[in-house]
Amino acid sequence: MLAATSFLDRLFDAGILMETGVEGLYARSGAFERVVDGIDRVISRFGDADGAEVVRFPPGMNRMVFEKTGYMKNFPNLAGTVHCFCGDDSGHAEIIAALEAGDDWSRQQALSEIALTPAACYPLYPIAARRGSLPADGRLFDILSYCFRHEPSREATRQQMFRMREYVRMGTPDQVQAFRQMWIDRAGAMVGVFGLEGAVDLANDPFFGRAGRMLKNNQRQQTLKFEMLIPVESVEKPTACMSFNYHQDHFGTLWNIRTATDETAHTACVGFGMERLALAMLRHHGLEIEGWPAPVREALWGAA
């Protein structure tokens, strides 16, 4: 091999990530999980005083909610759905025969009621909507989900299954925009606590296809998405490790979330890529976490 050892290979060699044979699907070591736990704690330290309601999700969501959210329209290439066998003995025999012959065995598989969650906040909106109108000061949630995006890659930071922690705000336009700005301001301080350097920049989601180009432009023009970019794979192309999203009334209209004065609620979320933040720290401070700078270890684990 002529290419220099990649960051991903170094993580494999150090046993921090373990290969599964699928790009972007990795097992994680205890050391990696200690870093993720520490990052989780730092995020809580920044956000706890706001009094968010904690909700934790399984990695799958109601497929009808997934459909209504428009994921297949906007990001069909990234989506993952769960399929199951619902047939009888002859269907089962067909599967076994196909497997033995090395043929496609998916004909007997049918779409189930579950889709893999692509973004942690998607399953939250219908839950919030069912509670009725928002209180006068809106609502704030602290959520975490494993997310799936079908984007196989040799970059350690682009995984197919990864954890996303979010704070999600629902309320008036003023309330949710102030929330987003507060987190953009906090993010700079948080990156400093991690011993990293990063910069916030305007961004867009990877809307699919030709129609997607217009959606990307609109999103940028309306400054709906910002990202915290931190060099991980390279300095020239820093990695989005957090995102700050203003959805306007998109989810409020979709799920009929009402404010206390019976207007359509606006929503915003801040998302933290747990694997990306951990990888950024491993890249900057080294693969031996015992050797990390004392203030960083102190911030993550409370003990030098």
Task: Give contact residues for ligand AMP (rule: CB under 6 A).
Answer: 119, 149, 151, 157-159, 162, 164, 227, 240-243, 271, 273, 275-276
Token digits of residue 20: 């599964």
As measured in angstroms, the least distance from the Cβ of 151 to ligand AMP is: 5
- Cα three-residue angle 226-123-41, rounded to 5 degrees: 60
Give every CB contact of residue 53 below 8 A, 6+ residues apart in sequence: 139, 140, 141, 142
Q: Is 176 in the site for Zn ion (CB under 5 A)?
A: no
Q: Which is nearer to ligand AMP, 22 or 97 (CB)?
A: 22
With CB under 5 to 8 Å by kind, the binding choice for 159 among ligand AMP, Zn ion, none is ligand AMP
| Site for Zn ion, residues 239 to 278, rule: CB under 5 A | 269
Q: Which is nearer to ligand AMP, 187 or 299 (CB)?
A: 187
With CB under 5 to 8 Å by kind, the binding choice for 267 among Zn ion, ligand AMP, none is none
| Site for Zn ion, residues 113 to 152, rule: CB under 5 A | 121
As measured in angstroms, the least distance from the Cβ of 21 to ligand AMP is: 18
With CB under 5 to 8 Å by kind, the binding choice for 60 among ligand AMP, Zn ion, none is none
Cα separation, 254 vs 223, in Å, equals 21
Which residue's entry shows tokens 């350690």?
A: 156
* CA quadruple 151, 155, 161, 162: dihedral sign: negative
As measured in angstroms, the least distance from the Cβ of 38 to ligand AMP is: 16
Percent composition of the chain: helix, strand, coil (DSSP 3-state, to 5): 40, 25, 35
Q: Which is nearer to Zn ion, 155 or 166 (CB)?
A: 166
Backbone angles phi and psi of 228, in degrees to 5:
-90, 115
With CB under 5 to 8 Å by kind, the binding choice for 71 among Zn ion, ligand AMP, none is none
Cα separation, 198 vs 180, in Å, equals 18
Cα separation, 8 vs 150, in Å, equals 18
**Could you list the residues that contact Zn ion (CB under 5 A)?**
121, 166, 269
